[in-house]
Amino acid sequence: MKEPASCLHPNPGWDKCYAGNVSNSQDKSLDKMIGKHCILELYECDQYKLNDEAFIRTSLTSASKIAGATLLNMITYRFQPQGVTGLALLAESHISIHTWPESRYAAIDVFTCGEQTMPEKACKLLFREFGAKTYSLKNLRREAPELIKDLQREP
């Protein structure tokens, strides 16, 4: 677990805050990268926000926009007595959240394809929005299989 820091940065270069088991060196593998996947865990959050389905929908919408992604659809579900699961379907992939208000915890995935998107910005926004005191962030590069690396797709 890390203390809040500027590590949740909007720089899509991934050079200063890289976590994970993949090399961070600038090499040929970057040519094959199809997306960036951030796995964010938020701790000591505002428990009321974690249980507020409307707030979560608004936060996912804002996170999609700030990441430079195109929001296609959203689905959320509020559990009884507490907790919310949400999925923002993006043209570029997805943002998902699962909350445990009783533990003041949220598990979030932000996966975006394309070089123009900035999932780190979405993570930073969600960290602030839920009032987290601490977080854990893992950044992964998704690499394209040989069969699809040269395909051109429009969102």
DSSP string, 69-135: --EEEEEEEE-SSS-EEEEEEETTEEEEEEEEGGGTEEEEEEEEESTT--HHHHHHHHHHHTT-SEE
Is the per-residue pLDDT at 8 higher than 90?
no
For residue 54, give both structure tokens.
């409307």
Owning domain of residue 51 = 34-142
Strands 134-143 and 93-100: unpaired
Q: Is residue 155 part of a domain?
A: no
Q: Is residue 18 part of a domain?
A: no
Active site residue 59: no
Active site residue 113: yes
Q: Is residue 17 part of a domain?
A: no
Q: Is residue 52 part of a domain?
A: yes
Q: Is residue 126 part of a domain?
A: yes
Give the per-residue pLDDT at 152.
Answer: 67
Of 93, 96, 123, 136, which one is the catalytic site residue? 93
Report how many domains make up the chain. 1
Of 9, 98, 103, 123, which one is the catalytic site residue? 98
> Which H/E stretch holds residue 140?
strand 134-143
Q: Summarize the confidence of residues 45-65 as an average pLDDT.
A: 98
- SS3 for 38? strand
Q: Residue 111: which CATH number?
A: 3.60.90.10
Banded model confidence at residue 22, pLDDT cuts 50, 70, 90: very low
Q: What is the pTM of this model?
A: 0.74
Q: Is residue 88 part of a domain?
A: yes
Comparing C-alpha atoms, which of 124, 144, 146 is closest to residue 135? 124
Q: Is residue 148 part of a domain?
A: no
